[in-house]
């Protein structure tokens, strides 16, 4: 059976196909209005339309629905007196000192907020029963409001989800239902409510998309990457739509972890630069997870890879603001019309146009020669930009790249320096279609001496779909001093979560003997509001690990009691191992010579597919491949390992 990893990005949809012995890679332009159209196009062009296929993909459908304010019409159901919780939120202000703020639209309009009984206390005791009158009124409200989806979030549902189940059973067939104790069984009325509402809002959108995709590929078994880096079957994915919001980027981190291990570089600072945005993260043996993520201004408290995203990509548009200053991003040229050099009607100067004007992109080597870039159009766009700054096209292009690099370097500092990590202790992992063009400049900006441009870096997120296990991330609130609760109580809850995860994976065909559990706890000093996640290894060892982590992150430890907040259990299946052919030793010579602005003389251009294991390249040089280009800057060397990874070092 063919294995196909697919990553749907804002500009390109990437494909990595494995038949068990070799890999084939492919790219097509994305179709944002109907994302499945680009996937089906790629499947046809790879000759897989009539083949038995196991398709594993990362999807931006749920993310785009949230960012664009689209989705189903949701009726929000909660306890009496709590209908305004989602509107009030946490009272955080985006601009702290702004005196006049435009009123924000509430997530759910008042007419779609329904208050009812079923309220529990923190001990699980029934405080406000769900009466027959409540149920009759609920039935009538459903009939009058005719929602497309229902989000049910009753107080303390994570202790007992029975009242939510009772209400869900009365929702008419065909209406999507999200219950908070299934979506996020944790304390925090607002965060749990937002997660449940988002799940209800994008669930029908995701369901329709997956139905269209699976119906068009009747011979394919389809699974979807979750935000936490594990895969879930397509028929389960729509019910867990809020868990898919970082679906694509998570794939890149799973591939980065796998290739980093092969290259002997387990500690990685990664940046994934695509056409629209750049995602940065830390891989310290494993990608870090967080439950404090945000999408489109909304808190998303379900587990997801700990990633920082900025609007800087190959398609980021450059402009001159009213004060005469150069700006790059966050607006993007996207897939249509794309950068000016695509020749599809784009007129604005982008980061990609800047690279082409400076000679760092080869117009005849883009997408393996399947797409020819237009240098004249890029130069014209940079000329117009430079006129507003009294700069030549080359000077304007250099300014665009310097500014884009500073945006990305700042993001890398956020997820490293600001968290007590020294970037110099890590290797910079670069991937995405545009990453290799910036890797040397970013490493120098962070004073890093090592970098890794992995094999198939331009489609690494798609490759990561093939390296991701099936899995579930489960949690439940359990509060109290850890020492007082004791190991027996903690392990009782962990065991219940593990059983739930095992049942879910067994239903997807993963044998129990192949499943692995990874328990952890969310801890904080008593009186604090925020938690740190620590692996569970008994009370004493876990407490000491928390103290150490707190000291690393914040520079101190306290003598206060340590409080348990949430218990977490990760249940995963076996990790697939994508077949990566090993290179033979050799010395592939330059296939061309080119001019790069700022470099005296001609620069050698290497075809990455012709390089041999052990070969050493010295900058300045360009390394082209089917889906990406790497700029090896002066002062840098690159060694090709046996899998084709470029291990780069700065003199």
CB-based burial label for 43 (10 Å; 0-12, 13-18, 19+): buried
| Residue 496, domain member (yes or no) | yes
Which of 369, 403, 437 is the endpoint of a domain?
A: 403
d(CA 295, CA 246): 9
Query: Do 111 and 248 reside in the same domain of the chain?
Result: yes
Query: Do 597 and 568 reside in the same domain of the chain?
Result: no
Q: Is residue 590 a contact partner of residue 604, using CB atoms and an 8 Å limit?
A: yes
**Taking the C-alpha atoms of 636, 640, 645 and 648 in order, what is their torsion angle to the nearest 10 degrees?**
-20
Which of 212, 243, 259 is the endpoint of a domain?
A: 259
What pLDDT was estimated at residue 370?
Answer: 67
Query: Do 568 and 596 reside in the same domain of the chain?
Result: no
pTM for the whole structure: 0.85
Q: What is the DSSP string of 108-171?
A: S-GGGEEEES-EE-TTS-EEE---HHHHHHHHHHHHHH--SEEEEE-TTTTT--HHHHHHHTTS
Percentage, residues of the chain above pLDDT 90: 66
- B/e letters for 524-541, b = 16+ CB within 10 Å, e = fewer, are bbeeeeebbbbebeebee
Closest CA to 10 of 314, 253, 222: 314
Query: Do 490 and 633 reside in the same domain of the chain?
Result: no
Query: Do 566 and 599 reside in the same domain of the chain?
Result: no
Closest CA to 58 of 206, 269, 176: 206
d(CA 383, CA 386): 5
Instruction: Report helix, strand or coil for 544.
Output: helix
Strands 304-305, 307-310: pairing kind: unpaired
| Residue 439, domain member (yes or no) | no
How many CB atoms sit inside 10 A of residue 376's CB? 12
Query: Do 50 and 172 reside in the same domain of the chain?
Result: yes
Range of the domain at 493: 471-572
Q: Is residue 346 a contact partner of residue 340, using CB atoms and an 8 Å limit?
A: yes
Query: Do 547 and 602 reside in the same domain of the chain?
Result: no
| Residue 611, domain member (yes or no) | yes
User: Residues in the chain, how many?
Assistant: 651
| Residue 643, domain member (yes or no) | yes
Query: Do 602 and 544 reside in the same domain of the chain?
Result: no
Task: Please write the tens of the pLDDT for every residue from 115-138.
Answer: 999 999 998 899 999 999 999 999
| Residue 586, domain member (yes or no) | no
Q: Distances from the Cα of 357 to the Cαs of 363, 474, 583, in angstroms?
A: 10, 50, 34
Query: Do 228 and 149 reside in the same domain of the chain?
Result: yes
Query: Do 38 and 96 reside in the same domain of the chain?
Result: yes
Which of 344, 371, 403 is the endpoint of a domain?
A: 403
**What domain count does the chain have?**
4
Instruction: Report helix, strand or coil for 424.
Output: helix
Task: State the DSSP code for 274.
Answer: -
In the predicted model, residues of the chain with pLDDT beneath 70 are 335, 365, 367-370
Task: Please write the tens of the pLDDT for every residue from 465-492.
Answer: 998 999 999 999 999 999 999 999 999 9
Closest CA to 134 of 120, 114, 148: 114
What pLDDT was estimated at residue 422?
Answer: 94
Query: Do 635 and 561 reside in the same domain of the chain?
Result: no
How many CB atoms sit inside 10 A of residue 387's CB? 13
Q: What is the DSSP string of 22-61?
A: -EEEEEEE--TTSHHHHHHHHHHHTT-TTS-EEEEEE--H
Closest CA to 332 of 231, 434, 454: 434
| Residue 300, domain member (yes or no) | no
Strands 289-290, 304-305: pairing kind: antiparallel
| Residue 161, domain member (yes or no) | yes
What CATH number does the domain containing 548 carry?
A: 3.30.1490
Q: Which two tokens stand for residue 541?
A: 């060892």
Sheet with 592-594: strands ordered across: 592-594, 603-607, 621-624, 629-632
| Residue 444, domain member (yes or no) | no
Closest CA to 66 of 12, 101, 107: 107
Contacts of residue 162, Cβ cutoff 8 Å, sequence gap at least 6: none
Q: Which two tokens stand for residue 321?
A: 């603001």
Q: What is the DSSP string of 446-500?
A: TT--EEEE-TTGGGHHHHHHHTPPBEEEEEEEEEEEHHHHHHHHHHHHHHHHHHH
Say if residue 620 is preceded by a cis peptide, omega within 30 of 0: yes
**Taking the C-alpha atoms of 133, 136, 141 and 142 in order, what is their torsion angle to the nearest 10 degrees?**
150
Instruction: Give Rg (Cα) of the chain.
Output: 26
Q: Distances from the Cα of 553 to the Cαs of 31, 120, 172, 268, 418, in angstroms?
A: 42, 36, 49, 18, 8
d(CA 138, CA 141): 5
Contacts of residue 98, Cβ cutoff 8 Å, sequence gap at least 6: none
Q: Is residue 639 a contact partner of residue 380, using CB atoms and an 8 Å limit?
A: no
- Which helix or strand (DSSP H or E) is residue 195 part of? helix 189-216
What pLDDT was estimated at residue 61?
Answer: 80
Q: Which two tokens stand for residue 485?
A: 């609760």
What pLDDT was estimated at residue 330?
Answer: 83
Query: Do 79 and 176 reside in the same domain of the chain?
Result: yes
> Tokens 């008042």 label which residue?
110
């Amino acid at each position: 059976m063919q294995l196909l990893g697919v990553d749907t990005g804002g500009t390109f949809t990437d494909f990595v196909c494995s038949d068990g012995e070799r890999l084939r890679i492919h790219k097509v332009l994305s179709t944002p209005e109907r994302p499945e159209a680009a996937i089906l196009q790629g499947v046809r062009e790879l000759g897989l339309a009539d083949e038995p296929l196991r398709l594993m993909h990362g999807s931006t459908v749920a993310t785009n629905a949230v960012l664009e304010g689209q989705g189903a019409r949701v009726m929000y159901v909660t306890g009496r007196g709590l209908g305004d919780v989602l509107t009030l939120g946490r009272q955080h202000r985006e601009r702290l000192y702004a005196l006049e703020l435009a009123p924000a639209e509430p997530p759910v309009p008042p007419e779609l907020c329904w208050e009812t009984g079923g309220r529990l206390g923190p001990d699980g005791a029934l405080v406000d029963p769900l009466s027959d009158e409540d149920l009759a009124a609920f039935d009538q409200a459903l009939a009058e409001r005719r929602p497309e989806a229902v989000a049910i979030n009753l107080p303390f549902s994570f202790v007992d989800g029975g009242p939510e189940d009772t209400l869900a059973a009365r929702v008419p067939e065909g209406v999507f239902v999200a219950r908070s104790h299934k979506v996020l069984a944790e304390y925090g009325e607002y965060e749990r409510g937002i997660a449940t509402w988002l799940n209800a809002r994008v669930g029908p959108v995701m369901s329709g998309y997956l139905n269209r995709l699976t119906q068009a590929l009747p011979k394919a078994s389809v699974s979807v990457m979750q935000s936490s880096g594990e895969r879930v079957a397509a028929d389960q994915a729509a019910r867990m739509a809020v868990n898919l919001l970082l679906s694509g980027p998570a794939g890149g981190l799973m591939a980065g972890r796998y290739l980093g291990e092969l290259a002997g570089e387990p500690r990685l600072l990664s940046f994934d630069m695509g056409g629209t945005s750049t995602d940065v993260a830390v891989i310290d043996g494993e990608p870090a997870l967080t439950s404090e993520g945000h999408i489109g201004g909304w808190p998303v408290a379900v587990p997801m890879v700990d990633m920082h995203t900025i609007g800087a990509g190959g398609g980021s548009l450059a402009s001159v603001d009213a004060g005469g200053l150069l700006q790059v991003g966050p607006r993007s040229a996207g897939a249509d019309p794309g950068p000016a050099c695509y020749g599809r009607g784009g007129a604005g100067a982008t980061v990609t146009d800047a690279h082409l004007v400076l000679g760092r992109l080869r117009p005849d080597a883009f997408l393996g020669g399947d797409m020819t870039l237009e240098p004249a159009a890029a130069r014209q766009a940079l000329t117009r930009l430079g006129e507003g700054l009294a700069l030549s096209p080359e000077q304007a292009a250099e300014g665009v790249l310097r500014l884009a690099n500073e945006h990305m370097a700042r993001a890398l500092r956020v997820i490293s320096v600001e968290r007590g990590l020294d970037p110099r202790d890590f290797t910079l992992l670069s991937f995405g279609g545009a990453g290799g063009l910036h890797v040397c400049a970013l490493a120098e900006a962070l004073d890093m001496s090592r970098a890794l441009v992995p094999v198939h870096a331009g489609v690494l997120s798609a490759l990561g779909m093939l390296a991701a296990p099936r899995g579930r991330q489960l949690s439940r609130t359990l509060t109290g001093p850890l020492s007082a609760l004791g190991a027996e109580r903690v392990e009782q809850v962990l065991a219940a979560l593990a059983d739930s995860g095992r049942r879910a994976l067994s239903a997807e065909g993963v044998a129990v003997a192949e499943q692995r559990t990874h328990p952890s706890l969310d801890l904080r000093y008593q009186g604090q509001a925020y938690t740190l996640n620590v692996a569970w290894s008994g009370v004493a060892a876990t407490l000491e690990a928390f103290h150490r982590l707190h000291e690393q992150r914040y520079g101190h430890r306290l003598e206060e009691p340590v409080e348990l907040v949430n218990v977490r259990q990760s249940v995963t299946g076996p990790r697939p191992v994508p077949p990566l052919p090993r290179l033979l030793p050799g010395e592939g010579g330059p296939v061309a010579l080119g001019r790069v602005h700022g470099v005296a003389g001609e620069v050698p251009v290497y075809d990455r597919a012709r390089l041999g294991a052990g070969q050493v390249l010295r900058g300045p040089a360009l390394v082209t491949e089917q889906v990406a280009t790497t700029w090896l800057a002066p002062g840098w060397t690159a060694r090709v390992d046996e899998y084709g990874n470029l291990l780069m070092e700065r003199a």
